[in-house]
Structure 1
């Protein structure tokens, strides 16, 4: 794959807006109306900032007008900051911000596997078992139940203690999911399984995308060579 991560990432999120929009070339924010936006849950406002510029979607023109007015005086880095939006808009609920990181074949730094990595179907019962052990909140964050790739796993005593895979998104993007059992954390297993999943995605000619909120997850991505290009934030505005 010869696609550079930054332009490909911008094209991905422009596609996910589901209406014509582009990241401003000189910074700033482009706000559009998109009731079917893939940047956020239905009825919410979605904002994605990449490399100093941003796009935002609103469910209606009235909300878009409010959003344009609120974001006009904010620096780009603040439009994906929950506290800044709280000051500028009547925010009811927030998802994120989540960092958006990407890696090219040239930038990828695979790790030597300290444990054997096996491949299982993404819907294998052992993978569901790991989600139960990890707990609902971590399982939802990882979203292993959404992967379309094989699950790269490490087993101990017959149980899966770490797993990673990806879901194919538009623009040949591989959206990564990684999860480790609580008792097995701190031993590099997330890096091991994630490295295997990234290698699998790159071999298929895909662009790996790592979206994360926890600092520990972002550190794993950085170790593997991912470059943090921006962030995504979704907000639900309070009703008048």
Structure 2
């Protein structure tokens, strides 16, 4: 009797999983659907140093913890949660002694086959070097929270921008990406708050994604806000999961050691 072979994983899912497995910084793989893998990794790229990182993709979760004590605590607590609650901040707070949470952020990816580039806008897209001084005015207009979320300062690609008026006008929207290990392109997109809702983010992001795909990279869109997630979906990104970072209360962790 022949045994049926498992169906091959979707290339987009496989690429996203390989990216985060590499960022875990220790040998680990995502478990089968419905499972959770918890590993100790002080150098994990899933979260800030000293935190617990949770990445859920395609129905399975990968978790890194900075110490064995923290890993034991997290493994026991997350075993009580359903898969869809592993990146739910309220559910995690109820299960663990949490000092602070970052996220959750939705994780979306696209490929040359799925990408839907934006039609050219009325205003042309210009290219600037990453870190160009013209981006600072846009960041000032956007405010600290949106600027930190977009992280245009971190891009390693050119910045694709729309200017008000002519080519020398102020930058009103910009996008670029940072090259991550595993040949991923992590998108950064920022639009002047006074001009949002006009499709500017979609046009600049489309130029950045085109540049990333031409370079053979896997575009990644990480977003917390519904508006940002809608832009990603309009460009053909598929939402595959979410990321959550957790800083545990050290005193709480000491009160709940694993036998």
TM-score by length of 1: 0.97
Residue 201 in 1 paired to residue 212 in 2? Answer: yes
Aligned ranges 1:1-240 → 2 under 5 Å: 4-114=11-121, 115-157=123-165, 158-240=169-251
Native 8 Å contact 1:179 1:190 kept in 2: yes
Q: CA deviation at 1:50?
A: 0.1
Following TM superposition, by how much is the alpha carbon of 1:27 offset from its aligned partner in structure 2, in angstroms? 2.2
Unaligned stretches of 5+ residues in structure 2: 1-9, 252-259
Paired residue secondary structure (2:188): strand
CA–CA separation in structure 1 for the residues paired with 2:47 and 2:149: 15
User: Partner residue of 2:256?
Assistant: none
What SS does the corresponding residue of 1:118 show, helix, strand or coil?
strand
The Cα offsets for residues 23-73 of structure 1, whole Å up to 9 and x where unpaired, read as 002321100001111111111100000000001011110110100100112
- What is the alpha-carbon distance in structure 2 between the residues aligned to residue 111 and residue 84 of structure 1? 37
Q: Distance in 1 between matches of 2:183 and 2:250?
A: 37
Count of matched residue positions in the alignment of Structure 1 and Structure 2: 238
Which whole-Å CA distance do the structure 2 matches of 1:126 and 1:113 have between them? Answer: 22
Distance in 2 (CA, whole Å) between partners of 1:26 and 1:126 is 46
Partners of 2:38 and 2:82 lie apart in 1 by 15
CA RMSD of aligned residues (A): 1.0
- Structure 2: distance between partners of 1:104 and 1:92: 37
**Bigger shift: 175-184 or 70-79?**
70-79
1:28–1:75: 8 Å Cα contact kept in structure 2?
Answer: no
Larger Rg: 2
Write the distance in 2 (CA, Å) between the matches of 1:190 and 1:39: 26
Q: 1: CA distance between counterparts of 2:238 and 2:204?
A: 19
Question: 1:4–1:104: 8 Å Cα contact kept in structure 2?
Answer: no
CA drift of 1:4 comes to 2.2
Gaps of 5+ in 1: none
Q: Secondary structure at the match of 2:63?
A: strand
Could you state the TM-score of these two structures normalised by the residue count of structure 2? Answer: 0.90
CA deviations on 1:136-183 (whole Å, 9 max, x unpaired) are: 110000000000000000000300000000000011100000000011
Q: Deviation above 2 Å: which 4+ runs of structure 1?
A: none
Is the contact between residue 33 and residue 58 of structure 2 (CA under 8 Å) also seen in structure 1? Answer: no
SS in 2 for 1:196: helix
